[in-house]
Chains A and B, each alone.
Chain A
Amino acid sequence: DAGVIQSPRHEVTEMGQEVTLRCKPISGHDYLFWYRQTMMRGLELLIYFNNNVPIDDSGMPEDRFSAKMPNASFSTLKIQPSEPRDSAVYFCASSGGQINSNQPQHFGDGTRLSIL
């Protein structure tokens, strides 16, 4: 049973470049979450989707960040242009049921992003 799949696992790029992170949620899960993890701020929820529709993007730090979910099995988080302070580990998670249910979130292994 495949879990949440993220790609790439590591990304190193120069500032100003466009970065695209990818996520495949667990089949049948209606909710998809994007998180950012840093030493300073811990785990931050950036945005989440329900049935491919963005529900809350209040955690997206700036307009440079955008996320899409074109279908139930794929989502992207894009940063354009990237800056060194965007360096972090980005996690994707998915869950089934309702948002207020007892269903846990299942996390991918993350993308470690380094902006030089």
Chain B
Amino acid sequence: AQSVTQPDIHITVSEGASLELRCNYSYGATPYLFWYVQSPGQGLQLLLKYFSGDTLVQGIKGFEAEFKRSQSSFNLRKPSVHWSDAAEYFCAVGSYSGNTPLVFGKGTRLSVIA
């Protein structure tokens, strides 16, 4: 079965600074990978997904993520953070074989300071 780890529980960055949120997965084959964002009081919104092809994927709100098979990682990046990016971010992994739904990481809370 697949699993996902988000090593950072909480990250604080300054507005305008770059951001990288880490995600490591465990799965025997090529996984499907997703990043979601949860703003306070709201549900999870899909930022981007990877399932094949170009390992650098672009998402909404200026986010991108890079799939690195050798490192079993799918880190989320943004070149310049805005105060409105403060939220909880979840990485999720799905399997293209088997019969299991997405597995979510425990999330990384992003704080943005002026």
Interface residues of A (CB under 8 A from B): 4, 31, 33, 42-43, 45, 48, 56, 91, 93, 99-102, 104-110
Contacts and interface: CB of A to CB of B under 8 A. Distances in A.
Contacts of B102: 104-105
A104 B36 CA distance: 10
26 contacts: A4-B43, A33-B101, A42-B104, A45-B101, A56-B101, A91-B43, A91-B44, A100-B97, A100-B98, A100-B99, A102-B49, A102-B51, A102-B94, A104-B34, A105-B44, A105-B101, A105-B102, A106-B46, A107-B36, A107-B43, A107-B45, A109-B41, A109-B42, A109-B43, A110-B42, A110-B43
Interface residues of B, number: 24
A48 B102 CA distance: 11
Contacts of B32: 101-102
Given A42-B107, A43-B107, A102 B96 contact: yes
Interface of B: 32, 34, 36, 41-46, 49, 51, 90, 94-102, 104, 106-107
A104 B43 contact: no
A104 B99 contact: no
B100 A100 contact: yes
8 A-B pairs with the lowest CB-CB distances in the bound complex, closest first: A107-B43, A102-B51, A42-B106, A107-B44, A102-B32, A109-B43, A104-B46, A43-B104
